Amino acid sequence: FLFDIMGIVFWTIALALQGMQCAKILTVCLIGGSHYLLLDEISHNLQQNGHSVRMLLQLGTPLLTGKTKLIVSLHISLAEFEPPTFRSLDSISNKLTIMIISTLRDNFNGFLKFMGHLSYQCGRLLEDEKMMSFLQIEHYDIAVLDALNPCSFILARKLGIRYIAFYPGALNGPLSIGLPSPISYVPVFNSELTDRMNLWGRMKNLIFVLGFCFFLFFFTGQALIWSRFSEVAEQHLEQSLSGLDELHQGAELWAFNTDFSLEFPQPLMPFTVLVGGVLNKPAKPLQQDLDSWITTLKEPCFVVVTLGSMVSSVSVDSLITELVAGFSSIPQGVIWRYDTKLWPSHIEIPPNVKIVDWLPLNDLLGHPKVCLFITHGGQNSLLQAVYHAVPILGIPLFGDQFDNVVKAEAKGLGLILKPTQITRGRLSSTIQTLIQDNRYKSSALSLSMLHKSHPVPAAQRFVLWVDHVLQSRAGLHLKPVALVQPWYQRNLLDILILLTVVLLLFLTLCWSLCRERHLKNKPKSQ
């Protein structure tokens, strides 16, 4: 009997190990900043779960400012294959980045310039024969792509490998991947609406939808974003592409860096999964200098300030002046991440404010004495605030940050102050409201409980989905036919036109019969 039990256990373990395939996975990060942090963490998680992982990382990107020496990258980085042309682009990249950031606020033209910059880098990457030859020889089983950068999709198509799209933002971003989006309760990107819309809110949402459709169909034959990459794709791909949608539809899975503790509930598709919070971890003890600074504070709590990996490297004097004046009038200590080399020399730093080039955000938000987090509204920052149950003051600056902080405010996590609304008095009073009103901390605790109570942690959830896709046939069982239907069929416009024509014919026939009968019954004139 004992030998039978041992035999069953042996074969069970053998079958389990057989099912756990060690795949060769390529993760692609060509932007940097928070995108790098996410793809780096995903690469580590996949490697720790038995896969052979290599990360393609473009070094020298300006969006990685202050991070290269502080974050230990995997030993699977392709740093040794960095093209020399990328190094020569550094000065151009820095100038372009500052220009992009200054024009990106609510400005689609700025976003298109950014896409053009990525397209230029993409061409240099695909022209590097040494790099391409190495990647093709490796024969990867699947790639995990940064979905914001179209170059990642073009690269995967050139290598002929299956791919998973990881989008670093929320669900309703600028990408259209066929998600059902009822206008009555799903806010359109950049509308700054919640899911609870009144009559005027729904009308605004509808106008945004119609405006988006008008933009798609009347500007050019192909999307403006794709127009920045179409030439690169034609040069380096054997088969021509109809547009960016074709590359998006080729993804076997779409993973979004969000969670329903922060997201408004809405319909999903089988090929979409939410894995928000892969960077969230229990806090570790702080470094000695930070711990000593917190200990010397007179107030029982302190405030953390970060305005993103890009904006903290760009000097905005007028905004900084009001922020500094507001911080100086509150009793709490403030630790603020800002590039000290770019700090305006004419602005004096108050005694209660500590400026640092880099800070361990996760560990600071997990500190028992933190009472408020002032953030630009980046997705990673908000998810970490939710995880550690810290109320936020959102100061959105560009892109999806406006929609992100609206969600946070609607969930009771904090309040919003737009840069144009900030004055020293309003800033200090808002900070005190958030610290003293227990409702914000209570909401933060509730959201944290919801986020942490998910049956499978975000990092492990993503790994399990990658394993599932590896064992499936191109993820076809997850994709509805709607993805390949023409837009007029998907929206039943052909049926609507047919019914309209039939109704018009019927009305015309009725009118003709009635007119003929009326003429017959009309008495003849004497």
Does 326 reside within a domain?
yes
Does 200 reside within a domain?
yes
Does 457 reside within a domain?
no
Does 523 reside within a domain?
no
Q: Which residue has the higher pLDDT, 354 or 220?
A: 354
User: Is pLDDT at 39 greater than 50 in this prediction?
Assistant: yes
The predicted structure's pLDDT at residue 319: 84
pLDDT per position as a tens digit, 355-375? 998 899 999 999 999 999 999
Q: 307 and 202, same structural domain? A: no
Q: 255 and 298, same structural domain? A: no
Query: What is the token pair recorded at 12?
Result: 């069970």
pLDDT per position as a tens digit, 445-502? 999 999 999 989 999 999 999 999 998 877 778 888 877 777 788 778 889 999 999 9
Q: 264 and 294, same structural domain? A: no
Give the pLDDT mean for 329-340: 92
Percent residues over pLDDT 70 in the chain? 81
Does 13 reside within a domain?
no
Q: Which of 146, 122, 125 is nearest to 41 (CA)?
A: 146
The predicted structure's pLDDT at residue 88: 30
Q: 326 and 253, same structural domain? A: no
Q: 268 and 120, same structural domain? A: yes
Rounded to two decimals, what is the model's pTM? 0.81
Contact 54, 27 (CB under 8 A): yes
Q: 409 and 268, same structural domain? A: no
Q: 346 and 207, same structural domain? A: no
Place of tokens 């996760």: 362
User: Is pLDDT at 164 greater than 60 in this prediction?
Assistant: yes
Contact 161, 140 (CB under 8 A): yes
Q: 239 and 296, same structural domain? A: no
Q: 315 and 171, same structural domain? A: no
What gap in Å lies between CA 180 and CA 270, rounded to an integer? 12
Does 197 reside within a domain?
yes
Does 208 reside within a domain?
yes
Give the pLDDT mean for 224-235: 82
CATH code at position 254: 3.40.50
**CA 44 and chain centroid, separation:** 20
Does 509 reside within a domain?
no
Instruction: Give me the amino acid identity at 230.
Output: S
Q: Considering its fold, how many domains does the chain have in total?
A: 2
What gap in Å lies between CA 275 and CA 144, rounded to an integer? 14
Q: Which domain holds residue 387?
A: 288-452
Q: 356 and 221, same structural domain? A: no
Q: 257 and 334, same structural domain? A: no
CATH code at position 400: 3.40.50.2000
Give the pLDDT mean for 303-328: 79
Phi, psi angle pair for 56, to nearest 5°:
-90, 110
Query: What is the token pair recorded at 137?
Result: 């020889």
Q: 434 and 401, same structural domain? A: yes
